[in-house]
């Protein structure tokens, strides 16, 4: 019998958001009136089910036997040795069913959808990981599934598009705006507002209107709860630092949240630095953007001087988003977490390093977290510990990596 | 008395309903917007709803999204839209102008700076699509201080409690979204709208405009029977799309659509 994945939602001492979904100045509910009632209905449903033992038991069962939790915490000894500093542990979310942390959340939201009597689920996706995770749970629970994906991303991620179609989902290309993730999110919102009676919108990250940022965080917090217990068991102490990549920020908040009360644990969120922050071609709203309102919440954004949202650039499609979850905005302003950026080149270099030295091929998103560890680890001593969220596996990215090396597969 | 209030009072005295066309500022070009506003007034528009282009118009359908993209390609910013209203006011001091758009461009300008400049330009009301009253207190207050009306949306999904809350925050008029969906979607159910309007009227004495799904003269007349104002957006903006390659025809097309709506609306009850 597999060890329990401890899905029960024990909250740490810091309880945010407030009842209106605010994390300090951030978050909230900035949507057209039609969506206010369905969001309130969802908030109530979530509040009820997240305290319902039957629901938690069902979630726990699926996380254990369908997703494959708990995921291992792996001591990357050879990579740590090479970097010459702190001991690095990898939280292996890449070993989950479907190959990334995204499924933790889609299982949870699908179970809520089922209990709310919704027969149709929709999702937005950038790289396709959240789309695949949604299509997967829709197949598992026998629900109709529609995934909105930017036409540009459909070109870049043909394999994931085909995976979704194999799983029975309809993949709808979005031709508006920059034809990427943010436009897919707009289109999914439009579908939801039109079909709100039958449809549940499974948002893939800790952004969007309340209650999504809190709900998605709670479903992803299993990453940090497991990691905290595992590092105490394996190393006998808490880590000195946590590192995770930040696009919308769901894997990062999932790792950080259960450690928020552990004052001595530093937290680093790593954004997509693209060609470098000084070039303007990046996806780093926390490092180089400013607060504004997009997609239903107030948070840091990439925008021009007139408040129009601008296009982002990152080698990793999963980080290519002009906003970020509001809780990260709050953690940044409060100083509890630090946010840095890794460039495309630094992420690629970390990708090759981990692949060759540990035999683990990370997703390009996760490679950004690894790239920051390359800088941080040598500054720490050998008895210090860094836990990195290895949020996904890199198979989906091999065409991008090959193209960077001038190779056509 | 505000221009919006004066307009509704005058219409009421004539037993007529307001026709409120929407266009996106800067579509198809920056210099076509003000002449189009005057032409719409001549064709029978009572209030002009002027869209402030935004990169991510989440509550709008494909027609208005495309209009936003055309306007943004012309580099039209919120400050340019205010300049258009200022220019419109040089010739027309009576027709109310309501800006419709999303919050982020206003945030960037700063609420009180925006409210003051809006009043100075001659803007009468502001409808911020993604700003429910729960989040809107500061902007609403800033607008009130300048005597600019804050117009809010009501929807088929609005509960009675929400209707009361929204009507309390609103001034000028309230805007009932006649169907679940985005602008320009599907067809509307007049009976359903009638029932909801009765509920709204019990919560407010403000005039009620109805929009979303009004496509032609007959739907405009049907809504005019039950509401105080008929808002027509995508049907107008569609003309901008259809005649994008022959932009000199757009004005005539819009005028003929509005004229037919105006006539149909004025015939009800006569």
- Tens of pLDDT, residue by residue over B69-116, are 999 999 999 999 999 999 999 999 999 999 999 999 999 999 999 999
Distances (CA, A) of B205 to A337, A394, B2, B224: 50, 61, 16, 17
pLDDT given for residue A298 in this prediction? 98
Average pLDDT over every residue of A51-77: 98
Q: Give me the DSSP letters along A34-48.
A: GGHHHHHHHHHHHHH
Q: Once rounded to an integer, what is the mean pLDDT over residues A382-391? A: 98
Give pLDDT, residue A278. 96
Provide mean pLDDT across the span B39-52.
98
H/E segment holding residue A31: none
User: Would you call A15 an interface residue with chain B, using a CB distance cutoff of 8 Å?
Assistant: no
Instruction: Inspect the interface and report whether the beta carbons of A177 and B65 lie closer than 8 Å.
Output: yes
Distance of CA A335 to the CA centre of its chain: 21
For residue B73, how many other CB atoms are within 10 A of its CB?
Answer: 12
CA distances in angstroms from A113 to A20, A38, A116, A121, B246, listed in the order given: 22, 12, 5, 8, 48
Provide the percentage of residues in chain A whose pLDDT is more than 90: 90
Say yes or no for a CB contact (<8 Å) between B185 and A194.
Answer: yes
**N-to-C CA span, chain B:** 29
**Span of A91-95, A192-196, A338-342, B251-255 with lowest mean pLDDT:** A192-196
Q: Which residues of B touch A172 (CB under 8 A)?
A: none
**What's residue B91's pLDDT?**
98
pLDDT tens digits along A326-352: 999 999 999 999 999 999 999 999 999
A·B CB contacts under 8 A = 128
Confidence of residue A273 (pLDDT cuts 50, 70, 90): very high
pLDDT band, very low/low/confident/very high, at A2 (cuts 50, 70, 90):
very low
- B55 in contact with A at a CB cutoff of 8 Å? yes
Does the pLDDT of residue B202 top 70, yes or no? yes
A50, A114, A124, A314: which one is catalytic?
Answer: A124
User: What does A175-202 look like in DSSP terms, one character per residue?
Assistant: -STTSSHHHHHHHHHHHHHHSTTTEEE-
- Kindly tell me if the per-residue pLDDT of A194 is higher than 60: yes
DSSP secondary structure letter of residue A360: -
How far does the CA of residue A368 sit from the closest CA of chain B (Å)? 28
Average pLDDT of the segment spanning B193-220 = 94
- Per CB-CB distance under 8 Å, the chain A contacts of B186 are 194
pLDDT at residue B182, as a whole number: 73
Can you tell me the mean pLDDT for A151-177?
Answer: 93
Model confidence band, residue B188 (pLDDT cutoffs 50, 70, 90): confident
pLDDT at A296 over 80: yes
Task: Please give the residue range of the domain that contains residue B103.
Answer: 3-266
Whether pLDDT at B241 is above 50: yes
- pLDDT computed for residue A14 by the predictor: 56
Q: What is the pLDDT of residues A128-145, one digit of tens each?
A: 999 999 999 999 999 999
CATH of the domain at B128: 3.20.20.70
| pLDDT tens by residue, A298-335 | 999 999 999 999 999 999 989 999 999 999 999 999 99
Q: How confident is the model at residue B270 (pLDDT cuts 50, 70, 90)?
A: low
Phi, then psi, of B140 in degrees rounded to 5: -60, -45
* In the predicted structure, residue B37 carries a pLDDT above the cut 60: yes
pLDDT > 70? residue B60: yes
Closest to A127 (Cα-Cα) out of A404, A392, A358, A334 = A392
Q: Are the Cβ atoms of A305 and B135 closer than 8 angstroms?
A: no
Chain A CB contacts of B109 under 8 Å are 307
ipTM of predicted complex? 0.95
Interface residue B77 vs chain A (CB under 8 A): yes
In the predicted structure, residue B221 carries a pLDDT above the cut 90: yes
Token pair, residue A236, equals: 């006998």
Alpha-carbon gap: B179 to the closest alpha carbon of chain A (Å): 8
When divided into structural domains, chain B yields a total of 1
Predicted pLDDT of residue A177: 86
Cβ pair A177:B129 closer than 8 A: no
pLDDT for the residue B269: 66
pLDDT band at A6 (very low <50, low <70, confident <90, very high): very low
Interface test with B, best of A308, A323, A329 (most B CBs within 10 A): A308
CA dihedral A388, A390, A394, A396 (to 10 degrees): -130
For residue A177, give the nearest of B56, B152, B156 by CB distance: B56
Q: Is B28 helix (H, G, I), strand (E, B) or coil?
A: coil
Instruction: Find the helix or strand (DSSP H, E) in which B126 lies.
Output: strand B125-128
Q: Please tell me whether residue B50 adopts helix, strand or coil conformation.
A: strand
The full DSSP string for A157-182 is THHHHHHHHHTTPEEEEE-STTSSHH
Q: pLDDT tens digits for A224-239?
A: 999 999 999 999 999 9
Buried b (16+ CB within 10 A) or exposed e, A64-76: beebebbbebbbb
Q: What's the mean pLDDT in A107-122?
A: 97
**pLDDT band at B268; cut points 50, 70, 90:** confident
Q: Report H helices in A67-150.
A: 77-83, 102-115, 129-141
Across B167-196, average pLDDT:
86
What would the mean pLDDT of A50-73 be, rounded to a whole number? 98
Q: Which residue has the tokens 């905290």?
A: A228
User: How far apart are alpha carbons B84 and B27 in whole angstroms?
Assistant: 12
Check residue B133 and report its DSSP letter: T
Contact A177, A148 (CB under 8 A): no
pLDDT at B190 > cutoff 60: yes
User: Which chain B residues contact residue A35 at CB under 8 A?
Assistant: 157
Distance CA(A131)–CA(A146), nearest Å, equals 9
Supply the pLDDT for residue A279: 96
pTM above 0.90, yes or no: yes
pLDDT given for residue A3 in this prediction: 40
Please check whether residue A356 is in contact with residue A317, taking contact to mean a CB–CB distance below 8 angstroms: no
Query: Which chain A residues are closer than 8 Å to B114 by Cβ?
Result: none
């Amino acid at each position: 019998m597999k060890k329990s994945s401890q899905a029960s939602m024990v909250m740490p001492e810091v309880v945010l958001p407030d009842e209106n979904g605010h994390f300090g100045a951030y978050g909230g509910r900035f949507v057209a009136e039609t969506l206010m009632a369905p969001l309130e209905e969802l908030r109530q449903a979530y509040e009820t089910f997240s305290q319902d033992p039957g629901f938690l038991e069902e979630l726990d069962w699926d996380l254990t036997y369908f997703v494959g939790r708990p995921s291992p915490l792996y001591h990357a000894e050879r990579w740590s040795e090479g970097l010459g500093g702190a001991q690095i542990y990898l939280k292996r979310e890449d070993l989950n069913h479907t190959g990334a942390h995204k499924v933790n959340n889609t299982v949870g939201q699908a179970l809520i959808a089922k209990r709310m009597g919704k027969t149709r689920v929709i999702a937005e996706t950038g790289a396709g990981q959240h789309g695949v995770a949604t299509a997967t749970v829709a197949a598992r629970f026998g629900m109709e599934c529609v995934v909105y994906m930017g036409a540009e991303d459909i070109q870049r991620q043909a394999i994931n598009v085909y995976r979704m179609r194999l799983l029975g989902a309809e993949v709808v290309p979005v031709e508006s705006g920059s034809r990427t993730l943010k436009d897919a999110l707009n289109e999914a919102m439009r579908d939801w507002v039109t079909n709100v009676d039958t449809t549940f919108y499974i948002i893939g990250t800790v952004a969007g209107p309340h209650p999504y940022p809190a709900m998605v965080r709670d479903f992803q917090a299993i990453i940090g709860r497991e990691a905290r217990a595992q590092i105490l068991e394996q190393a006998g102490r808490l880590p000195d630092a946590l590192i995770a990549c930040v696009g919308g920020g769901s894997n990062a908040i999932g790792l950080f949240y259960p450690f928020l009360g552990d004052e001595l644990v530093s937290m680093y969120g790593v954004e997509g630095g693209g060609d470098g922050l000084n070039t303007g071609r990046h996806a780093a709203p926390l490092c180089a953007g400013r607060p504004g309102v997009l997609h239903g919440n107030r948070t840091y954004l990439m925008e021009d001087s007139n408040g129009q949202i601008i296009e982002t650039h990152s080698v990793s499609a999963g980080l290519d988003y002009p906003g970020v979850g509001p809780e990260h905005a709050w953690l940044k302003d409060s100083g509890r977490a630090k946010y840095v950026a890794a460039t495309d080149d630094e992420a690629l270099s970390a990708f090759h390093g981990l692949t060759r030295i540990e035999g683990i091929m990370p997703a390009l998103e996760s490679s950004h977290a690894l790239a920051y560890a390359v800088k941080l680890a040598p500054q720490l001593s050998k008895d210090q510990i860094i836990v990195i969220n290895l949020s996904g596996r890199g198979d989906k990215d091999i065409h991008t990596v090959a193209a960077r090396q001038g190779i056509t597969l | 008395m505000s221009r919006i209030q004066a307009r509704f009072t005058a219409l009421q005295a004539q037993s007529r309903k307001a026709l409120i066309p929407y266009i996106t500022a800067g579509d198809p070009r920056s210099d076509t917007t003000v002449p189009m506003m005057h032409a719409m007034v001549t064709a029978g528009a009572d209030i002009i709803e002027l869209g402030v282009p935004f990169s991510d118009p989440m509550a709008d359908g494909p027609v208005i999204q495309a209009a936003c993209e055309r306007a943004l390609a012309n580099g039209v910013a919120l400050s340019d839209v205010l300049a258009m209203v200022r220019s419109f006011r040089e010739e027309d001091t009576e027709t109310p102008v309501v800006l419709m758009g999303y919050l982020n461009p206003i945030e960037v300008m700063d609420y009180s700076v925006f409210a003051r400049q809006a009043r100075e330009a001659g803007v009468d009301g502001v409808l911020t699509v993604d700003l429910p009253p729960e989040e809107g207190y500061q902007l609403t207050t800033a607008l009130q201080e300048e005597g600019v009306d804050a117009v809010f949306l009501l929807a088929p999904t609005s509960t009675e409690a929400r209707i009361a809350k929204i009507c309390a925050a609103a001034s000028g008029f309230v805007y009932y979204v006649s169907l679940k969906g985005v602008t320009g979607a599907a067809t509307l159910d007049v009976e359903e709208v009638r029932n909801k309007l009765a509920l709204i009227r019990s919560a407010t004495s403000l005039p009620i405009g109805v929009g979303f799904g009004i496509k032609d003269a007959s739907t405009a007349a049907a809504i005019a029977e039950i509401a105080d104002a008929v808002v027509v957006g995508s049907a107008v903006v569609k003309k901008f799309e259809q005649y994008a390659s022959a932009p000199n025809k757009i004005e005539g097309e819009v005028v003929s659509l509005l004229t037919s709506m105006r006539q149909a609306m004025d015939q009800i009850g006569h």
